[in-house]
Amino acid sequence: MTDTTIRKSVFLPVSKQHAWDYLTKADLLNKWFHPADADMAPGQDYTLRSQKDGDRMCWGTVEEMVPHDYMRWSFTVGPANGVMSTVEWTLSDAPGGTRLSLVHSGLPTDAEGFGLVLALDKGWHGFLGGLRNCTEE
């Protein structure tokens, strides 16, 4: 795994602090992404579970947190066979709210990994749309 990267941005009609809570608080992650075993905390491992059956969906370590501005995770899913990638979240002020940007890097570059990259791209697109819907309520 080397340099395939997914980049996404979404505009949220809430403050950076409010958006940050949706990225870090277990009860709010559950509303738009996956149920988390615990709040995200720097240097801590995390596990996000399936909404359907509670099975482990994705996991890794919160590598860095700069509250309300930036967070970086190591990240893997079952089909990646334990190979870690990196997910970075950047929050910036925007007129009327917050711009949230995601960069998911270290993804497969070979033909065998292409399906995983497509699935992750589709997943991030849907989850960020769900996040926007949650924060508009």
Mean pLDDT of 58-81: 96
List the domain boundaries for the chain.
4-136
Average pLDDT over residues 22-50: 97
- The reply to whether the predicted model has a pTM over 0.85 is yes
- pLDDT-based confidence at residue 137 (cuts at 50, 70, 90): low
Q: How far is CA 125 from CA 6, 39, 84, 97, 102, in A?
A: 10, 23, 20, 19, 10
User: What topology does CATH give the domain 4-136?
Assistant: Alpha-D-Glucose-1,6-Bisphosphate; Chain A, domain 4 (3.30.530)
CA distance 85 to 25: 22
pLDDT of the residue at 73: 97
